[in-house]
Amino acid sequence: MKIALMDSGIGLLPAAAVLRALRPDVDLVLSQDPDGMPWGPRTTEGIIEHALAVARAAAEQKPDALVVACNTATVHALEAIRAELEPDIPVIGTVPAIKPAAAGGGSVAIWATPATTGSAYQRGLIRDFASGADVAEIPCPGLADAVEYARPEQITEIVAAAAAQTPAGTRALVLGCTHYELVAAEIAAALADSCPGLELFGSARAVVEQALRRARPLRETGEGSLTVLRSGREESLPAEALVYPEGRALLA
C-alpha cells in the first residue's frame, strides 16, 4: 500500500509519523511546496493553484490515498483536489479536532493561524460540534512559520503569548494547525500551571485512520519506503524536519 501526504511544508510530519507507527509496511510519499510557501497569506485562488500542483506531484506516484495534511489547503482547495483526483485516488482532508474536544463539555480553546481564527469555516465547526461548550479562539501569528523553520526562541515566545490569552482552567485545547502538533509538548508545558489537567486534541491520528479505511491498495504490501517531493522535485527531508522526533522517526 502507498499513501501520499501533502502540505506546504513540514506540517504533514505528525500524520506521517502516526502512519509509519501504525503501518510500518506502508510506502509513504510526502509532497511539499517549499518554493510556494507559506500558503496562508495567498488568495483562495493562489492556495488552490499551489495545492493542486502539490497534489498532482503526489498523484504521479500513484498512491492508494492522498491526505491533505494542511488545514488551510483543506479549507480552500479540498473540493478542487477531489474533483481532479477522485474517484481514482481517495482524498482525505484535515479538520480541526473540535468535535472530540468539545464532547466533554466545559471550556475549550482553539489555537489556530490568524487566517483560520474567527473564519466562517472554524465558526461553522464550532456551531455544529461545540455549541454546548465555552469556546475561546486563540490566534497564533507566526507559530507555524517558527515551527517550519525550527526556531526555538520564536516558538517559545509565540507559545507563551498564546498561553497568556488562553482562559485559565481550560479543559481541552484544539491544535488547529498541523504544524502545532510538532510542538505539543511545549504548548502543554506553557499551560500546565494555568490549565491543570488540560487535554490536547490534534488531527493526525484520526486523519490517518480515515486514510487507511479509504485507501484502495493496488499492490502488495511494500517495505515501508519514503519518497519526498519538494515542489515536484524528489529530494530528502529538509534539515528542519529532523529537528522533530516525528521527522526522525520517518528515517529510522
> Which amino acids are annotated catalytic?
70, 177
Sheet bearing 199-201, strands edge to edge: 134-139, 107-112, 172-175, 199-201
Q: Quick one: CA dihedral 213, 224, 11, 134, positive or negative?
A: positive
Residue type present at position 194: S
90 secondary structure, DSSP code:
-
In sequence order, what are the residues at sequence separation of 6 or more whose Cβ sits closer than 8 angstroms to the Cβ of residue 24? Answer: 224
| DSSP type of residue 130 | -
SS3 content of the chain, % helix, strand, coil (to 5): 45, 15, 35
Distance CA 28, CA 227 (A): 6
Please calculate the CA angle 74-75-81 and round it to the nearest 5 degrees: 50
- Residues 102 and 183: their CA atoms lie apart, in Å, by 22
User: What's the residue count for the chain?
Assistant: 252
Which three-class secondary structure state does DSSP give residue 174? strand
**Paired residues of 229 in beta bridges:** 31, 234
Listed residue (201, 69, 41) closest to 135, CA to CA: 201
